């Protein structure tokens, strides 16, 4: 019984030895590494099962598979994005609740540039408006100068003229003159786009350097392209002569024979509000008329058409 057993054992050893010699030695198995993903779990199983476990090319096939490369590249990109975020949104996703100082600086610089641009635009618009308004005002002002008002003294009526003996305020005896007259003036505003406010200095009658009468003209407003006649009373009451009008001394009793040269002077001012009170224009007219007082013409109008000068 022992011999057959030994033979069987020897046979099995020889068979094993022959089998080992005919079969090439197997390389040691390398450990496998798996990267599990919820979305590609089945794909990994299929790629692993398609190659034999004992194949020497299994390890190389796994490393060269497109799935492995795509996972490795995506993983590296994600890691790089964690280390060096390139956008503000990525940084906020990585660190919620925190803001980047560089982002704040960029936003502040953008806001400051935007404000500066708006200020420049407003300044340019304001400057343009001022320039256009000034140009328009100058044009209106220049156009208004061609519409100077017309002033014409039509006539003067001396209603009363007498000389009486009297005393001045200090009690010095002298001749006293009284005169009552009215002056009619034609005023015309030829302007087509503005009215005028008219005032005047006192109307005065002089005998050389001696003032014998004066009167105030009422101020008025004259509409555009219109005219009016202004009547002003010029009075002189108890004016001491002190021998100034010597020619009258010999004609006290016969006033009709009196002839006295007088001079009427006044200055009219016309103020035009072209564009409210922002644009105004002024016109001045200086009037000087020669009046020949005749005792025989008392109460009658003396025409002044050719006796006045206007400046």
Q: Give residue-wise pLDDT tens across range 51-64.
A: 444 444 444 444 44
Rounded to the nearest integer, the mean pLDDT of the chain is: 74
pTM over 0.85: no
Output 67 or 158, whichever has higher pLDDT: 158
Residues 310, 284: Cα–Cα separation, whole Å: 10
| 253 vs 299: CA distance, rounded Å | 19
- Identify the weakest region by mean pLDDT among 102-111, 139-148, 185-194, 276-285: 102-111
Mean pLDDT of 176-196: 94
What pLDDT, on the 0 to 100 scale, is given for residue 279? 87
Task: Round to whole Å and give the CA distance between 156 and 164.
Answer: 24
Q: Is pLDDT larger for residue 86 or for residue 246?
A: 246
| Virtual torsion, Cα 229, 160, 301, 156, nearest 10 deg | -50
Q: What percent of the chain has pLDDT over 90?
A: 34
Calculate mean pLDDT across residues 110-128: 81
The more confident residue out of 198 and 45 is 198
pLDDT of res. 32? 52
pLDDT, position 182: 96
pLDDT at 183 over 80: yes
Give the pLDDT of residue 287.
96
Check whether 102 has a pLDDT greater than 60: no
Tokens of 54: 């004992």
CA atoms 130, 135, 139, 142: torsion sign: positive
Spell out where the chain has E strands.
150-167, 173-189, 196-200, 203-207, 210-215, 220-222, 226-240, 259-275, 279-294, 301-303, 308-310
CA nearest neighbour of 194 among 281, 128, 117: 281
> What pLDDT was estimated at residue 170?
86
Q: Higher-confidence residue: 282 or 275?
A: 282
> How many CB atoms are located within 10 Å of the residue 70 CB?
11
Percent of the chain predicted with pLDDT > 70: 60
Mean pLDDT (whole number) for 190-218 = 94
Phi-psi region of 22 (alpha: psi -120 to 50; beta: other; left: phi over 0): alpha
Confidence class of residue 20 from pLDDT cuts 50, 70 and 90?
very low
Kind plus residue range of the DSSP H or E element containing 76: helix 66-83
Single out the residue of 211, 226, 229, 96 nearest to residue 152, CA to CA: 229
Look at the chain and count its residues: 311
pLDDT value of position 143: 86
């Amino acid at each position: 019984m022992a011999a057959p057993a030994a033979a069987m054992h020897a046979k099995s050893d020889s068979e094993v030895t022959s089998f080992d010699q005919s079969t090439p030695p197997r390389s040691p198995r390398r450990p496998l590494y798996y990267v599990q993903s919820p979305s590609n779990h089945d794909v990994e199983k299929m790629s692993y099962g398609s190659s034999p476990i004992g194949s020497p090319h299994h390890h190389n096939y796994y490393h060269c598979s497109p799935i492995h490369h795509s996972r490795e590249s995506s993983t590296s990109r994600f890691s790089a994005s964690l280390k060096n975020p390139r956008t503000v949104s990525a940084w906020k996703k990585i660190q919620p609740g925190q803001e980047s100082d560089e982002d704040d600086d960029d936003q502040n610089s953008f806001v400051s540039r935007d404000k500066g641009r708006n200020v420049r635009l407003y300044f340019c618009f304001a400057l343009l408006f001022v320039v256009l308004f000034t140009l328009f005002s100058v044009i209106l002002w220049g156009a208004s100068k061609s519409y100077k008002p017309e002033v014409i003294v039509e006539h003067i009526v001396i209603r009363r003229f007498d000389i009486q003996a009297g005393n001045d305020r200090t009690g010095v005896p002298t001749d006293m003159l009284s005169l009552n007259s009215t002056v009619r003036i034609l005023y015309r505003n030829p302007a087509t786009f503005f009215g005028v406010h008219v005032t005047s200095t006192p109307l005065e009658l002089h005998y050389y350097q001696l003032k014998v009468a004066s009167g105030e003209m009422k101020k008025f407003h004259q509409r555009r392209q219109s005219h009016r006649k202004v009547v002003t009373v010029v009075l002189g009451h108890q004016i001491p002569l002190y021998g100034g009008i010597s020619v009258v001394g010999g004609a006290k009793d016969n006033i009709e024979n009196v002839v006295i040269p007088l001079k009427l002077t006044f200055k009219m001012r016309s103020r035009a509000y072209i564009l409210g009170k922002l644009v105004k224009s002024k016109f001045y007219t200086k009037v000087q008329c020669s009046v020949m007082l005749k005792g025989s013409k008392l109460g009658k109008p003396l025409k002044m058409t050719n006796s006045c000068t206007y400046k």
